[in-house]
Structure formats: structure tokens, C-alpha cells
Amino acid sequence: MVRTVRSKRKKRRWFFPVLAILLTAAGAILFRCPHSLQDIGRIVQSAVGKITSFSAGPEPAEPVLRGTIYDSNLRELAVSYKLYSLFANPVEMADRGQIAKALAPLVGLDAAELQARLQATPYSTMLATNLDEEQAKAVESLHLSGITCKADTVRFYPGHTVASHVLGFMGEGVGLSGIEGKYDSVLQGVFRKGNIPDIDFQGQDHLGENGADLVLTLDVDLQKMLESRFREYLSASGTEKGMGLVIEPKTGRILALMNQPSFDPNYFWKANESNRVNRIYNHQLERDLIRPIVARAAAIERQGLDGTKVLPPTVAAPDYGFSGKELEAFEQQIELNGAVVGNWTLEGAKEQNQAKASEVTGVQVGVTLASLANGGWRITPYVVDSVYDHATTSRYGRSPDATDKLYVLAPALGIQIRRELFSTWKRQKKNGVIFTGKELQIHPEGQFSEYSMQNLFVALTPAEQPRYLLLIATEKDHLLPDPAGQRRRRISLEKLGRGLLADIVQREEAPLVAQAPPLKSPENLRQFFISKRLSLKTTLHKEVTPVGVMPQMHGMSLRKGLQQIDKLKLKVRINGSGRIVAQYPLAGQPLLGIKECVVTLESR
């Protein structure tokens, strides 16, 4: 036994030095390889790890689909579907003609065309895409040798541009912005309470094993109506930039939120940077737009509970006699400049801290006016209302302590300010209050100047104890007069706001929705497949074009890279985040027969 042990030790002493030499040699060879080959190896390794093979039909143990995002009435705003692609390996086929005849009616292709495609190539080829689960099951039931289906999931936004800045978008199965980005872990399934602390999970910590859905405070009908009317107004007035929101001042619930121009999350990579700007949180407005309201609120506070009613400002005492510093002190008291970070995005706080002293954001204006209208409570607005967990079949609502509240005015004085604040502005027959503001700014830039005309409309209803706050703001970057055609069709922002306010007042409160979300909407599913198959038909009927080559994307942002390859109609797999550091196929490589590319990103 002693000799045996010594023998093994000798072998180990011989083995480890040789292994070290081999590893050193391999490392030296790899180090001398071109960086492109190293990148290809890393990309291929990452891509292989993501590719999943499926039999012809669904596997029994598939991961749960990404959770659905609903509006307050459980109507789908974002939903995931499972699609299948049909592949054929001609080497394994016996009678291609019979196989083509069997498959043709299931996938909606001509049998002769299908047979020709099978006979034209000896390699594995994709025969059809965008097959639903029923089609995949039908293919599987035929038990055809050499025929397989590959499953994939696709995110669909039925409303297209509706509430796009709130919903955000996805890339390669990962949420990148808005609700999709902030609550990616919740929508993916299997999460902890810490991933969404605003929700009361009644003592449970681990959820989402069978998937979870999010229910928002938005009303999709109200959202569509506001966005449609607002786009019409912007087009008629020759304005492109605008924002708006409808909020409950007492609770902070956001019922609708607009950002124009907008984008379609289904094709987010086609949107330019301007369209994807979340203006309500990041675009700066001149604080002088609401200076009359702030000055009057400060004057009412100065009079106190026992003081007489505040008189209008005069030429001798504009802003009720307050100096600029005194108004700034009151603005600090009511937290006009305070950062507002909703429970649907982390964007905005950093931008607000960098804003100029004369500027505020749209959401800061909304929160400030809401606090003056609700008796002095500064409440952070929110858009995520509840979570439905499929494993426990329960819907969990917001925690009572989730809404941040801060008293910026003494309770009794806050009520007095709410009662007297808007008495000098226009009242609607529907017992509402309307305030408008306009600012023209000139910013010298060397020999030139930049002009900005901002308009604000605010409405509160009912006047005594406001239940709804409507805020709309627009910005125009060119000078008057407008073109003659636009001038004839133009309506005022106040007229638009009055019409929207009337519709909001007449809006019927929706009944309490069911505890559990309904089955997926068949109409949305039909719309999804129609759009997919129309796109496929358009592709199939296009004239034959020369073979393209892979563009150079190294060093670009993901958005610019996607814009480069969008026209090539390639499926894109994305690894990492940051800027593009590697790509496959390589730049300049012909794309004959290539349907997919892999992009690797790294943060600097």
C-alpha cells in the first residue's frame, strides 16, 4: 500500500507541471489570437447558452410567461405570447413530398412551394414563423421525421403608443425602461417583497413562482381620449412637444399621463431620442408659469387664519408685494423644487437636481398644485396599484404606508388656502377652476438666440374640494406668426383643456374589478397575429434584393446599433449593457442565409 501511494504521488508530481505547461501554452496562443476571434468565442458561448431546442410542439415544463400589465379595469396594456418557428432537416426526411403535403395546411403555405424549398437545400432550414400553440401541437401530432418547432416568447403592447412612456419597453426578454424596467424581476416571476416594497403582501416574502401580473392606476379609455385630442391639438397648432397628467390630489393616483411626441414600444428601436424623452419628469418648465398661484398662496398664508381676504395684486405691489427672495422661501417651504420619483420610474430625480433655479418639471408643478388643493399634503404620485400572484391566486394592494406624505402647510392654514386660493380665477359651470399661464423665453447663444414659448393649463374640479387635477403644458421652439393654414385651424390650449375637463367630469366611475385578472384577451391575440402575418406577407412579396453585408457597430450605443441593422431584418440577441464591444457576424460579412446576429455590450 505504501508503494501504491508513492506511485500516485509520483504521477501527480509529473501531471501538474505538464498541465501547467499546457495551460500556459494555450493562454499564450489565445493571447496572440486577434481580438475579433476572442470576441466571437465569447459571443458564441453566450448565444449557445440562450438557445433552447424544442420538439415539434410545447414542452411539458416551460418557464412561465412574463407577467401581464393591466390598467385599473384589468384591460391589457402589455402581454406576452408564445410563438413557434418550424424547422426542417432534409437529411432526416424520407418522402419530402408527403411531408410538404402534410405541413402545408397547418402552416398556411402552398404544398408545391414547400416541397421545392425542402428539395432546394440539404441543410436545416426554417419553413415558417409566428405559429401559435395550436399549430405547434398539430405539427407535433404528425410525428414527422426531421420536423421540429422552436418556441419563443414575444411581448405585445395592444395600445401601441398608448401610455408608452409609463410602460417602457423590452429587449431580448429584459425590461429596459418604465414599468417593464423597474419591475422586471416581478414580471419575470419568483421575486421577493423587497422588489416592490409599495405592495402589502400580508407577511409573504417569496412570490411569483407561477408568474405575477401588475395592475396600474391608469384608465386606458381616459388615456386614449387625452392622447388623441392632445395630438390633434399639437398638430393643429404647429407644436410638437407637450405633456400632461390627470391625478387625484388627495391620493396621488395617476389616472392618465401623456408625453408627446410618443413612440410604439413594439418597435422601440425605431424611435428617435426625442420621442423617448419622458417629458413630464425630465423636461423643464419656467416656474413663472405658476408664479401667480404661488404668490397668492403665500399672501393667504401671510394673512393668517384671522386675516381678511386677500385682495388682488396691484401695479404698485405686484406678486402681492413679495420680493423675489420671499417667494423663493415660500417655494422652498412647499417643496416646489423637491424631487418627485414615482413608483414606476427612477428617472427624473437626477435631472431635477441639475435644473436651473428658474425651472421646474411638469410633475413638480402637478405635485405642488395638488398639495395646495388638498389642504397642504405633499403626496408623491404613483401608478402601480396592485400585484396579482398566480401561485397564491391573490391580488395584493398598496400598503397603507406606501404613499409618502409631507405636510408643507399647517393643517388649518392649508384648508384655508385651499378654499381661498383659486377664488380669483375662472370657475366652470361644473364647479371647477381653470388657470392658464404663458411664458416667452429668449436665450442668447452668441450671435443668435433661442426662443421658447411655453403654455400651461391647469384645471381642478370640483372647486371646493378638488377630486381631479388636469395639467397640460406645451412648448414651441419657433416664432409667431404660425403658417396661415395652421392659424385657421388653431384652437387655444384653454379650449382644449375645457373640453377635456368636461369629459373627465362626465366620466363614470368604473365598478370594482374582479380580484383575479381575466383570461387573455382573444381580440388582442387576434390583433397580434394579424400584424405578425401581415408583416410576413409583406416580406415574402418583396422583390429580390442584393445580399446585404453586416454594418460596423463597434463603439455604438444599443439604440444606434439597432438602427443600423433594422433594415436588414435580422433577429438580434443582446448580451450585457452599455456600448457595443463585439458583434457577430463581423462587420463587412455577407448576410446570405443569416437570420440572426449577436451583439455584446459592456459598460465603460
pLDDT tens sequence across 158-169: 999 999 999 999
Is 60 exceeded by the pLDDT of residue 132? Answer: yes
By percentage, how much of the chain surpasses pLDDT 70? Answer: 79
More confident residue, 8 or 493: 493
In this prediction the pTM is: 0.76
What is the rounded (10 degree) CA torsion for 268, 269, 270, 272? 90
pLDDT digits (tens, 9 = 90+) for 422-434: 777 766 556 788 9
C-alpha grid cell, residue 448? 443668435
Is 80 exceeded by the pLDDT of residue 7? Answer: no
pLDDT for 319? 87
Dump the DSSP string for 37-105. HHHHHHHHHHHHHH-----SS--SSPPPPPPPEE-TTS-EEEEEEEEEEEEE-GGG-S-HHHHHHHHHH
| Mean pLDDT (the chain, rounded) | 80
Is 50 exceeded by the pLDDT of residue 570? Answer: yes
How much is the average pLDDT of 132-153?
89
| Most confident listed range (307-316, 344-353, 377-386, 592-601) | 377-386
pLDDT for 308? 73
Is 70 exceeded by the pLDDT of residue 510? Answer: no
Q: Do residues 109 and 135 lie in contact, with contact meaning Cβ atoms separated by under 8 Å?
A: no
Is 50 exceeded by the pLDDT of residue 350? Answer: no
Is 80 exceeded by the pLDDT of residue 11? Answer: no
How much is the average pLDDT of 556-561?
86
How much is the average pLDDT of 137-156?
90
Dump the DSSP string for 508-534. PPPPPPPSS--SPPHHHHHHHHHHHHH
How much is the average pLDDT of 360-382?
92
pLDDT for 50? 37
Q: Do residues 140 and 56 lie in contact, with contact meaning Cβ atoms separated by under 8 Å?
A: yes
Rounded distance, CA 366 to CA 380, Å? Answer: 10
Range from 216-230, 327-341, 428-442 carrying the lowest mean pLDDT: 428-442
Q: Do residues 127 and 536 lie in contact, with contact meaning Cβ atoms separated by under 8 Å?
A: no
Is 90 exceeded by the pLDDT of residue 450? Answer: no
Range from 125-129, 239-243, 347-351 carrying the lowest mean pLDDT: 347-351
Rounded distance, CA 165 to CA 147, Å? Answer: 42
Cα-Cα-Cα-Cα dihedral sign, residues 573, 574, 580, 582: negative
Is 80 exceeded by the pLDDT of residue 346? Answer: no
pLDDT for 451? 77
pLDDT for 583? 84
Catalogue all structural domains in the chain, each as residue range(s) with its CATH number: 240-384+400-506 (3.40.710.10), 548-604 (3.30.10.20)
How much is the average pLDDT of 317-335?
90
pLDDT for 265? 93
3-state secondary structure of 602: strand
pLDDT for 357? 67
pLDDT for 111? 86
What residues have CB less than 8 Å from 514, skipping those under 6 apart?
74
